[in-house]
């Protein structure tokens, strides 16, 4: 593998602590979490105590004020260990920045410190039964009534939804204004009319709690509005590059891990009297995958560098999401094939990794949407 130059000594010390925590507090329980459909709530509190939640949040709001590389370390270690049930990435990389960038001082002081300790588990509610990647097609409404918004509608496929204490709800405050009528509003668990549906049973990522959310005349204080009314779609577009980069970071880490697992397996597994690694087809497949994964790692690391400099644009983020997740699914499939029948057995990590990978091409905007974004940048 090509040596990485992104991370300094402090990042690697942090990585070691994250890895140890995952090995001790998460890996032994993940199979049970897959059966239950969510991780233990206490793990969030333990992670907060170790500084693994909201590291980039400024110190005055309970975070560590670090650079985004610390988020990347956490994402890489979780993905590399196959612990797909842990929803810290969404909490750290996606939800927290909305509060930091668009929340009032009151909202920052009220929520961010408790997000950093794990007292609050957060989620963002974009997708609806009739609107996924098409965010302009959402139907959930938020009508201003005095000092409150009245929210009605439903959301689905919401990561951290079942355990969530705080949800950013994407809603239409002016249905007639199209994208300009979209706003972001914070809703707390326990507010009258806000309910959570069943934990959704997924093909992969079985330990990650994903649920439906329902809003029936939920009265939310107007002060819970993030930023300005009607600016929600703009805010979403501004934050999506980091979300798509996070998906890519997870993709390449999981892909590298799957390749390592497969190299180890083919050395040990025998067929026709010799190790599977002795066959030319195996050697060629591994060489092809390793070459493509190395190239992808260089591209993603460059995108991380651009993001740290504030230069990662929307089309480039779309490219990294598109290419990394396509490669992830391709490599996972090849790795399962090289495992033979055992690759299809749930007890083998490669089977879990294969199942977990498929949704990467769907969420954070489908890969077809990524192609639209890229082509528009090309054609004007």
Average pLDDT, rounded, for the chain:
96
Angstrom distance (rounded) from CA 357 to CA 67 = 27
Neighbouring C-beta atoms of residue 9, cutoff 10 Å: 7
CA torsion angle 33 72 1 357 (round to 10): 40
Q: What percent of the chain has pLDDT over 70?
A: 100
243 is catalytic: yes
pLDDT value at position 13?
A: 97
pLDDT digits (tens, 9 = 90+) for 272-292: 999 999 999 999 999 999 999
Could you report the per-residue pLDDT of 218-273, keeping only the tens digit for each? Answer: 999 999 999 999 999 999 999 999 999 999 999 999 999 999 999 999 999 999 99
Read off the pTM.
0.96
pLDDT of residue 248: 98
Could you report the per-residue pLDDT of 77-103, keeping only the tens digit for each? 999 999 999 999 999 999 999 999 999
CATH of domain 233-379: 1.20.140.10
- Region 347-353: mean pLDDT is 97
What pLDDT is recorded for position 1? Answer: 66
Cβ proximity of 218 and 151 under 8 Å: yes
Q: Which of 243, 256, 268, 288 is catalytic?
A: 243
Q: What is the pLDDT of residue 136?
A: 78
Burial class (CB in 10 A: 0-12, 13-18, 19+), 230: middle
**Secondary structure element (H or E) that encloses residue 74, with its range:** helix 69-80
* CATH superfamily placement of domain 123-230: Butyryl-CoA Dehydrogenase, subunit A, domain 2 (2.40.110.10)
Q: What pLDDT is stored for residue 380 in this prediction? A: 86
Question: Do strands 122-125 and 166-172 pair parallel, antiparallel, or not at all (unpaired)?
Answer: parallel
CA angle 212, 91, 178 (to 5 degrees): 60
| Pairwise CA distance, residues 352 & 343, whole Å | 9
pLDDT of residue 4: 85
Q: What is the pLDDT of residues 7-52, one digit of tens each?
A: 999 999 999 999 999 999 999 999 999 999 999 999 999 999 999 9
Tokens of 336: 């399962």
Query: What residue ranges do the domains of the chain occupy?
Result: 9-120, 123-230, 233-379
Considering just the CA atoms, what is the radius of gyration of the chain in Å?
Answer: 21
Number of alpha helices (DSSP H) and beta strands (DSSP E) in the chain: 12, 10
* Per-residue pLDDT at 251: 98
Q: How far apart are CA 220 and CA 207, in angstroms?
A: 31
Q: Does domain 9-120 have CATH number 1.10.540.10?
A: yes
* Predicted local confidence at residue 178, as pLDDT: 85
Distances (CA, A) of 225 to 22, 102, 167, 351: 35, 9, 12, 42
Residue 50 exposed, middle or buried by CB count within 10 Å (0-12, 13-18, 19+): middle
Measured CA to CA in angstroms, residue 267 lies from 31, 81, 262, 357 at distances of 26, 21, 9, 24
Output the six-digit token pair for 276: 């599977």
- Give percent of the chain above pLDDT 90: 96
Burial class (CB in 10 A: 0-12, 13-18, 19+), 51: middle
Burial class for 249, CB neighbours closer than 10 Å (0-12, 13-18, 19+): buried
Quick: pLDDT tens for 291-317: 999 999 999 999 999 999 999 999 999
């Amino acid at each position: 593998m090509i040596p990485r130059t992104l991370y300094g000594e402090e990042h690697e010390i942090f990585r070691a602590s994250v890895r140890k925590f995952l090995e001790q507090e998460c890996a032994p329980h993940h199979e049970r979490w897959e059966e239950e459909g969510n991780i233990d709530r206490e793990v969030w509190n333990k992670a907060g105590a170790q500084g693994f939640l909201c590291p980039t949040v400024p110190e005055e709001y309970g975070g560590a004020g670090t650079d985004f590389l610390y988020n990347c370390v956490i994402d890489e270690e979780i993905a590399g260990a196959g612990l797909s049930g842990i929803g810290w990435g969404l909490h750290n990389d996606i939800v927290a920045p909305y509060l930091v960038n668009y929340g009032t001082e009151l909202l920052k002081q009220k929520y961010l410190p408790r997000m950093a300790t794990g007292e609050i588990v957060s989620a963002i509610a974009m997708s609806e039964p009739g609107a996924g990647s098409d965010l302009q097609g959402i139907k959930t409404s938020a009508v201003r009534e005095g000092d409150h918004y009245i929210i009605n509608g439903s959301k689905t496929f919401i990561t951290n939804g079942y355990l969530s204490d705080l949800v950013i709800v994407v809603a239409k405050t002016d249905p007639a204004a199209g994208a300009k009528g979209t706003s972001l509003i914070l809703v707390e668990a326990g507010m009258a009319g806000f309910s959570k549906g069943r934990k959704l049973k997924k093909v992969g990522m079985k330990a990650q709690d994903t649920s439906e959310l329902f809003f029936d005349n939920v009265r939310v204080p107007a002060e819970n509005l993030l930023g300005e009314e009607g600016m929600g779609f703009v805010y979403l577009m501004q934050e999506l590059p980091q979300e798509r980069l996070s998906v890519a970071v997870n993709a390449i880490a999981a892909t590298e891990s799957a390749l390592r697992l497969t190299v180890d397996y083919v050395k040990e597994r025998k067929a026709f009297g010799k190790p599977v690694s002795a066959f030319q087809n195996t050697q060629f497949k591994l060489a092809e995958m390793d070459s493509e994964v190395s190239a992808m790692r260089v591209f993603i690391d460059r995108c991380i560098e651009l993001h740290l400099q504030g230069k990662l644009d929307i089309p480039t983020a779309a490219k990294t999401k598109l290419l990394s997740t396509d490669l992830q699914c391709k490599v996972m499939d090849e790795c399962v094939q090289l495992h033979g029948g055992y690759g299809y057995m749930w007890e083998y990590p490669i089977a879990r990794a294969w199942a977990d990978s498929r949704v990467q091409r769907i969420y954070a905007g489908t890969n077809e949407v990524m192609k639209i974004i890229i082509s528009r940048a090309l054609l004007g």
